[in-house]
Amino acid sequence: MAQNPFPLGKDELLKAYRTMRTIREFEERLHVDFAKGDIPGFVHLYAGEEACATGIMMHLNDNDRIASTHRGHGHCIAKGVDVHAMMAEIYGRSTGACRGKGGSMHIADLSKGMMGANGILGAGAPLICGAALAAKVRGDRGVGITFVGDGASNQGTFLESLNLAAVWNLPVVFVVENNGYAESTAMEWAVSCDSYVDRATGFGMPGVTVDGTDFFAVYEAAGEIIRRARDGGGPALLECNMVRFYGHFEGDAQTYRAKGELEAIRATRDCLTILSERVIEAGVIGRDELQTIDREVNALIEDAVRAAKAAPLPVAEDLLRDVYVSY
């Protein structure tokens, strides 16, 4: 094997690939099972965007908090939330991460620093300011990461949070996952600037734009931004330009896309292909090693679905449990 010319060791590279592949298989399976009518509620798939969540979360530990979006499965998996618990949650089973009462848009696991997916657009940003303030007061070098889509970035909550984080110099990273569409509205119709870096600058913090389909681009930029936040350098914004392989929600006919657009992005901007070709070409990881991971991930997802389907549904008495928490 050749000398490793990458910023991560081989084990870390394999871990990144495994995470991205797990997200992809998780989402591909949900796409199929939702179409069959097996899954209650809405799902919004993260397929195509795996490099963003993975490249960022590789720099975090369980003490760091993230606040996610309605499209949160990828964030959860990359942050270490148990795949079986996630699948059960999406299937609405009592073994789920939130005992089957949250579903796709409310998966949370505080033990992993995952504060929750969020069905309210732009709602994660104020939450993460609170978590970051707590980390700052404790002085434990924890950071908070919040994700927002290009559409939700227009919400007042997000813009107010940029201001708050700047004023309080909080260890927050605002990640704009720019997949080009707010549901069905292309961003040039709804966002007053081409780059979110402009918005960061307006609130007195640095902003950086990267190719969100390139794991190494996200990893490298996120590493510098997160380190800056841990060191007391304050908030920053990271814009990841990326693509989603499915509609805004499952069932979305995507009539707003140009003809051939989806085929083109799958052929040229698949972050998993970009990563695997890069590490194989460099001679650091063999194709067979990645194929082994593919098989293991397939088995994991299959087992998660099997277990979820076999698990019991919540009962009526569970309805009022977990509404309040004593502390």
Partner 1 sequence: MAPVVGIVANPVSARDIRRVVANATSLQIADRANILLRVLAALQACGVRDVLMMPENGGIRAHVERGMMRARSRGEDIYPALHPVAMPITGTVADTHRATAEMRRAGVSALVVLGGDGTHRAVAAECGTVPIAGISTGTNNAFPEHREPTITGLATGLAVTGRVPPHIAFTANKRIDVSLINGANGGAVTEMALVDVALVTERYIGARALWRTENFRELYVTFADPEVIGMSAIAGLLEPVGRDESGGLMVRLSPDGDCRKAATTLHAPIAPGMMARVGITDWRRMPADVAFVPEVTAGSIALDGERELSFSERDRLSLTLRDDAFRTVNVAAVMRHAGQNRLLTGTPVPVAAF
Complex with partner 1: residue 114 or 132, whichever CB lies closer: 132
Cα distances from 17 to residues 30, 204, 217, 266, in angstroms, run 20, 35, 15, 18
Q: Which is nearer to partner 1, 134 or 282 (CB)?
A: 282
Does position 6 interact with partner 1 (CB under 8 A)? The reply is yes
Least distance between partner 1 and beta carbon 274 (Å): 10
Length of the chain: 327
- Report the nearest approach of partner 1 to the CB of residue 121 (Å): 22
Q: Does 285 bind partner 1 (CB under 8 A)?
A: no
Cβ atoms of residues 265 and 48 within 8 Å: yes
For partner 1, the binding residue among 101, 228, 230, 266 (CB under 8 A) is: 228
C-beta separation of 56 from 91 below 8 A: no
Are 131 and 144 spatial neighbours (Cβ–Cβ below 8 Å)?
yes
Least Å from the CB of residue 322 to partner 1? 40
In the complex with partner 1, the residue whose CB is nearer, 198 or 296, is 198
| Start-to-end Cα distance in the chain | 53
> Is residue 224 close enough to count as binding partner 1 by CB under 8 A?
yes
Residues 182-221 binding partner 1 (CB under 8 A) are 188, 192-195, 197-198, 200-202, 206-210, 214, 216-217, 219-221
Indicate the residue among 46 and 216 with the shorter CB distance to partner 1: 216
Select from 68-76, 102-110, 126-134, 224-232 the region that touches partner 1 (CB under 8 A).
Answer: 224-232
In the chain, which residue ranges form alpha helices assigned H by DSSP? 10-35, 50-57, 73-79, 83-90, 124-138, 156-167, 197-202, 215-230, 261-268, 271-281, 287-310
Question: Is 312 exposed, middle or buried (CB count within 10 Å of its CB: 0-12, 13-18, 19+)?
Answer: exposed
Range 251-280, binding partner 1 (CB under 8 A): 278
Among 43, 57, 107, 236, binds partner 1 (CB under 8 A): 236
Q: Which of 282, 307, 311, 314 binds partner 1 (CB under 8 A)?
A: 282
Nearest Cα neighbor of 45 from 85, 92, 99, 105 is 105
Distances (CA, A) of 200 to 144, 206, 208, 285, 302: 17, 6, 9, 38, 42
CB of 99 to partner 1, least distance (A): 40
Output the smallest distance, CB 183 to partner 1, in A. 18
Nearest to 226 by CA among 71, 55, 97: 55
Binding site for partner 1 (CB under 8 A): 2, 5-7, 188, 192-195, 197-198, 200-202, 206-210, 214, 216-217, 219-221, 224-225, 228, 236, 239, 278, 281-283
